[in-house]
Structures are given as structure tokens and as C-alpha cells.
């Protein structure tokens, strides 16, 4: 029974996999922040479920170091944990879920009660867990919503199998597939930037834009998580989901309305215009230790004891996607991501074409609109201006919207906070629909298969560098011009965020 959301009714948030890493580091802290800020329905009960036999006190103990409790919030923090329960049970036995159901029912006073299940469990138990929820734990007097985390399969076939399995158990509107990049402030801002500003819309096309670069960089390697990572690699871990989601928001047509399905219809439509990636359009890398570095930096990917010997799994990838529609034909969309690089950064660079009919002896540099997702949300447009004073020289400068300056003190919530709250309110705008997922795998599966079948060796790059040297040449072959001449002067008041 899918009921209209009403925050007066009792809600139970059930976290499956409550003993795990994601639960401890991300989900418990997130539900605490939502609880602390009074954003959840007042009568919300939290139940952790996993195989480990432990008390809720022990769960709390393990979570404590990942949770920020501000001075003055201590009492509320204790109240939060008093609202938490933990139940140990198997993932595959229906009887355990019946016991879980009985516990949940105890809190559900009144005629209506809603349930949200968060699956922070490994893919291996996914089918058992969902079948058992369906068979033993569906709310009979309210809604049941299920939040699922990637990986949503590892290719088109496994993803379809998973989708069919889920479709046999739940309606699409009950499923919330998380891509946490959709919860990030600047990713959510993309639609506003594009569709609430008349200056951008007329120039957002092949006549004016030369190329688009969407990057994700992380300054650390797999660090003991190599076992999981090696089976997936950076293309499945980041590019096929986080970066492709950003691409679809940058490239889609204006939706009919802000209705979640209207938006997702447009995202799917633009993905359908992208042909599967060819081997020639992808470059892969794998980090090696930096002999001059310190600690972890001296270790390459293959030195991680959890990584199989001789693995050719990429930790870096650059791929060009081509959108074959009237707006974008001929404009490369370059997705680039890597681990163990020189910095943490996620950004979109929309690079405009050179000015035609040059009268400035080649001194006018390309305009570039940079949307920095993290760290330190910012939007800046690089453009040319006359240098101030008597001279008639050109200077490369910017229109700069740095959040920490313009919105100093504003609270930018974490991606998970927004997304979990969206599930309570029943807003699916920032979740991945089944057909989006299908398109994403259609684009990526053939090249992943070719890379794996042909055992293609990634290019080495040094831990802490910008990635393989060949990547810059490849990038310029996709009409992305780096001039190296832009200089930004940090305003004195910019706060570090």
C-alpha cells in the first residue's frame, strides 16, 4: 500500500547491513544529522539489522568516531540512540525477517505506518534480502520504500537481471536507486544554471561549445579496498554512474516541468543519443608507487595485498562520448576520473569555441564555464576583458560565484542527507530510474568487455600525479584547449570549505 507522505505518521527506517562500513561511516551519521535538525517525522524509529550479534550500544560505539556532535547536542544525541534498535539475523532466512517484522510492528501505533528499508549490503546477498523484505516485512498500513546502493550490476546483462528481479517484487515508485552525486549541491544546481538563465540557453549547443570535460579526481588509492575495487575498476565505480549522471544533466533538453519523471525522461532521451564507447575513445591508467613519496604514496595499485597479481583493472580512465543529436553532434563530452591523483576535485568545464573573426592577434582565450562540485562549491566563467587603465590590452579574468564568499555561513547539506530526506518525502527526482540505468550499461558494456577480453594494459601513472601523460594529448585531441595562461587571484576573504 503506497500512502501519501504524512510526517505525522510513525515511520521506521530499517538499515540492513548495519554492521558494515557504509552504515557506520555514512548512514548512521546521516540519520543523526537529519534527526538533530528535526527534519524527519517526529515518530521515526531506526532499526539496524545485520548478521553480527551485537547490542545497539556496540553499534553506537563503532559509529561514534564518524559522527559529529556539536557542543549542546549531547542530550539529543543520547535521545537519538535511544530511538535506535539493533536486531541480529541472517540475510537468507525468512524466519529472521518475520522476527524483524514483529519488532517493527511494535512501534507502529495507529492506523497508518510507513517503512523505509536501506540496503547497505553486498551485492551477493541482495536478492535474498529483497525477496525476504517482500515476503515478510512489507508495511500493511502504509508505504514501503526501498533504497538501494550501487553497484547495480556489473554489465548490461547482470543489471537487467537485477532490474527484472526488483521489478518482480516492487513497483518502480517504491525503489530509490542512489547515485549520491545527484545529491550534491552543484549537481542539483545544473538545471537551475541552465534553465533559469536566458544567457546560457541560446549558447548551449554545438555552434558555441567546443567540448565539455567532466572530471573526478581523488588523492588516495584503494587502500585495502582493492578486493572490491578490482572486480569493478574506476569505469564502473565512478564513470558509468556519477560522471554519466552529470553528463545527462549538462546535455539534456529542457524538461516539460520539474516533475521527476519529466526530468528523467529527458535524461534518458539524451543518453539514447549516445552510441556505445569505442576502444579508440577510451584511455586507461593504473597508478604505480611514487619512490619520492611518503607512506601510502610509495605503493602502487599492484602493491595492495588485496589486489590480484598482475591485475589490469584501471584506476584512471578518460573517455569521449559523442551525442548524436541536433544540439551536440560533433561536441566531445570527455569523462575523466582517477584515484591516487594530485588532488581531490570534481568539476564540469564547458569550453566555448574560439571567437570567429579575430581582431586581437590571437590573444583572446576561450571562454570556459567551470562548475566546481567539490571541494568548495563554485561557478566561474572565464572571460576576456580590457586590462584596467590606459592600455588597450586584453586580460583573462572571471565572473566568480564562490559559495563560501557569496553565501558565507550557509549550510550546504551533505548529499546523503538530502537523498535520505527525499525518500521520506517521496521525491524521486534525484534517484536513478530503471531505464536510465539500462542506457548507462548500453553505453559502457561493450567497451568494458573489450578491455577485459583483450586484457588491455593500463598506462602507468605515478601516485600523486595528474594521471598518465598521454591523457593531456588525448584531451587536446577532443578540442579541449588548455592555455596555461589563466591566473586566479584568491580573494582575501575566501574561506576554506
Please tell me whether residue 220 binds ligand NDP under the rule CB under 6 A. no
Nearer to ligand BG6, 97 or 216 (CB): 216
Please tell me whether residue 231 binds ligand BG6 under the rule CB under 6 A. no
Active site residue 180: no
Please tell me whether residue 7 binds ligand NDP under the rule CB under 6 A. no
Please tell me whether residue 215 binds ligand NDP under the rule CB under 6 A. yes
Please tell me whether residue 352 binds ligand NDP under the rule CB under 6 A. no
| Residue 255 near residue 266 (C-beta atoms within 8 A) | yes
Nearer to ligand NDP, 30 or 374 (CB): 374
x/- string (CB under 6 A) for ligand NDP, residues 312-351? ----------------------------------------
How far is the C-alpha of 346 from the C-alpha of 190, rounded, in Å?
A: 14
Angle formed by the axes of helices 126-136 and 94-107, nearest 10°: 50
Q: Which of 108, 237, 368, 377 binds ligand BG6 (CB under 6 A)?
A: 237
Q: Which of 49, 55, 51, 42 is nearest to 23 (CA)?
A: 49
x/- string (CB under 6 A) for ligand BG6, residues 174-193? ------x-------------
Per-residue H/E/C for the chain: CCCCCCCCCCEEEEEECCCCHHHHHHHHHHHHHHHHCCCCCCCEEEEEEECCCCCHHHHHHHHHHHCCCCCCCHHHHHHHHHCEEEEECCCCCHHHHHHHHHHHHHHCCCCCCEEEEEECCCHHHHHHHHHHHHHHCCCCCCCEEEEEECCCCCCHHHHHHHHHHHHHHCCHHHEEEECHHHHCHHHHHHHHHHHCCCCCHHHCCCCCEEEEEEEEECCCCCCCCHHHHHHHHHHHHHHHHHHHHHHHHHHCCCCCCCCHHHHHHHHHHHHHCECCCCHHHEEEEEEECCCCCCHHHHCCHHHCCCCCCCCCCCCEEEEEEEECCCCCCCCEEEEEEECCECCCEEEEEEEECCCCCCCCCCCCCCCEEEEEEECCCEEEEEEEEECCCCCCCEEEEEEEEEHHHHCCCCCCCCHHHHHHHHHHHCCCCCCECHHHHHHHHHHHHHHHHHHHHCCCCCEEEECCECCCCHHHHHHHHCCCCCCCCCCCCCCCCCCCC
Nearer to ligand NDP, 257 or 493 (CB): 493
Q: How many residues bind to ligand NDP according to rule CB under 6 A?
A: 15
Name the one range near ligand NDP by CB under 6 A: 95-103, 226-234, 374-382, 455-463.
Answer: 374-382
Please tell me whether residue 400 binds ligand BG6 under the rule CB under 6 A. no
Q: How many residues bind to ligand BG6 according to rule CB under 6 A?
A: 5
User: Which of ligand BG6, ligand NDP, none does residue 237 bind to, with CB < 5 to 8 Å depending on kind?
Assistant: ligand BG6
User: Which of ligand BG6, ligand NDP, none does residue 2 bind to, with CB < 5 to 8 Å depending on kind?
Assistant: none
Nearer to ligand NDP, 134 or 466 (CB): 466
Nearer to ligand NDP, 187 or 475 (CB): 475
User: Which of ligand BG6, ligand NDP, none does residue 218 bind to, with CB < 5 to 8 Å depending on kind?
Assistant: ligand BG6
Q: Which of 11, 242, 273, 430 is catalytic?
A: 242
Nearer to ligand BG6, 97 or 463 (CB): 463
How far is the C-alpha of 431 from the C-alpha of 447, rounded, in Å?
A: 25
Contact positions with ligand BG6 (CB under 6 A) in 317-346: 346
Q: Which of 107, 228, 380, 383 binds ligand NDP (CB under 6 A)?
A: 380
Q: Which of 2, 90, 466, 479 binds ligand NDP (CB under 6 A)?
A: 466
Please tell me whether residue 218 binds ligand BG6 under the rule CB under 6 A. yes
The half-sphere exposure of 285 on its side-chain side, counting CA atoms within 13 A, is 27
Contact positions with ligand BG6 (CB under 6 A) in 342-371: 346
* Shortest distance in whole angstroms from residue 376 CB to ligand NDP: 6
Nearer to ligand NDP, 272 or 466 (CB): 466
* Shortest distance in whole angstroms from residue 343 CB to ligand NDP: 7
Q: Which of 185, 265, 296, 472 binds ligand NDP (CB under 6 A)?
A: 472
* Shortest distance in whole angstroms from residue 66 CB to ligand BG6: 14
How far is the C-alpha of 486 from the C-alpha of 297, rounded, in Å?
A: 30
Which stretches of the chain bind ligand NDP, using CB under 6 A? 215, 217, 370, 376, 378, 380, 398, 400, 402, 466, 472, 475, 482, 486, 488
* Residues with catalytic roles: 242
Residues that bind ligand BG6 (CB under 6 A): 180, 218, 237-238, 346
Amino acid at each position: 500500500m503506497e500512502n501519501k507522505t504524512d510526517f505525522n505518521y510513525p515511520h521506521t527506517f530499517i538499515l540492513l547491513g548495519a554492521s558494515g562500513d557504509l552504515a557506520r561511516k555514512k548512514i548512521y551519521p546521516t540519520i543523526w544529522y537529519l534527526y538533530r535538525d528535526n527534519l524527519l517525522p517526529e515518530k521515526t524509529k531506526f532499526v539496524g539489522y545485520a548478521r553480527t550479534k551485537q547490542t545497539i550500544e556496540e553499534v553506537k560505539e563503532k559509529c561514534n568516531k564518524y559522527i559529529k556532535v556539536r557542543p549542546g547536542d549531547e542530550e539529543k544525541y543520547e535521545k537519538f540512540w535511544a530511538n535506535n534498535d539493533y536486531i541480529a539475523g541472517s540475510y537468507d532466512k525468512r524466519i529472521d525477517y518475520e522476527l524483524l517484522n514483529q519488532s517493527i510492528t511494535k512501534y507502529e501505533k495507529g492506523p497508518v505506518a510507513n517503512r523505509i528499508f536501506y540496503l547497505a549490503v553486498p551485492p551477493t546477498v541482495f536478492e535474498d534480502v529483497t525477496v525476504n523484505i517482500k515476503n515478510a516485512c512489507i508495511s500493511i498500513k502504509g508505504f514501503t520504500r526501498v533504497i538501494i546502493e550501487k553497484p547495480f550490476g556489473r554489465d548490461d546483462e547482470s543489471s537487467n537481471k537485477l532490474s527484472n528481479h526488483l521489478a518482480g517484487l516492487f513497483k518502480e515508485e517504491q525503489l530509490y536507486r542512489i547515485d549520491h552525486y545527484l545529491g550534491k549541491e552543484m549537481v542539483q544546481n545544473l538545471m537551475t544554471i541552465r534553465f533559469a538563465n536566458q544567457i546560457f540557453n541560446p549558447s548551449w549547443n554545438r555552434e558555441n561549445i567546443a567540448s565539455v570535460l567532466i572530471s573526478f579526481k581523488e588523492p588516495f588509492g584503494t587502500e585495502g579496498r582493492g578486493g572490491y575495487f578490482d572486480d569493478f575498476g574506476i569505469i564502473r565505480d565512478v564513470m558509468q554512474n556519477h560522471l554519466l549522471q552529470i553528463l545527462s544533466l549538462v546535455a539534456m533538453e529542457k524538461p516539460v516541468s520539474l516533475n521527476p519523471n519529466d526530468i528523467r525522461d529527458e535524461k534518458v532521451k539524451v543518453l539514447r543519443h549516445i552510441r556505445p564507447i569505442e576502444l579508440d575513445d577510451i584511455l586507461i591508467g593504473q597508478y604505480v608507487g611514487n619512490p619520492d613519496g611518503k607512506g601510502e604514496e610509495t605503493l602502487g595499485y599492484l602493491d595492495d595485498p588485496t589486489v590480484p597479481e598482475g591485475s589490469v583493472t584501471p584506476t584512471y580512465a578518460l573517455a569521449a562520448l559523442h551525442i548524436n543529436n541536433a544540439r551536440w553532434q560533433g561536441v566531445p563530452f570527455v569523462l575523466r576520473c582517477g584515484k591516487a591523483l594530485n588532488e581531490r576535485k570534481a568539476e564540469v568545464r564547458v569550453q566555448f569555441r574560439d571567437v570567429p573573426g579575430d581582431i586581437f592577434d590571437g590573444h583572446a582565450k576561450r571562454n570556459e564555464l567551470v562548475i566546481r562540485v567539490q571541494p568548495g562549491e563554485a561557478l566561474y566563467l572565464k572571460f576576456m576583458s580590457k586590462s584596467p587603465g590606459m592600455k588597450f590590452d586584453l586580460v583573462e579574468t572571471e565572473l566568480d560565484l564562490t559559495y563560501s564568499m557569496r553565501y558565507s555561513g550557509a549550510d550546504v547539506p551533505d548529499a546523503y542527507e538530502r537523498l535520505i530526506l527525499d525518500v521520506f518525502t517521496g521525491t524521486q527526482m534525484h534517484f536513478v530510474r530503471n531505464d536510465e540505468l539500462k542506457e548507462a550499461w548500453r553505453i559502457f558494456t561493450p567497451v568494458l568487455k573489450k578491455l577485459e577480453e583483450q586484457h588491455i594494459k593500463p598506462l602507468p601513472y605515478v601516485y600523486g600525479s595528474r594521471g598518465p601523460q598521454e591523457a593531456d594529448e588525448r584531451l587536446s585531441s577532443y578540442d579541449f584547449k588548455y592555455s596555461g595562461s589563466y591566473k586566479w587571484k584568491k580573494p582575501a576573504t575566501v574561506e576554506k570549505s
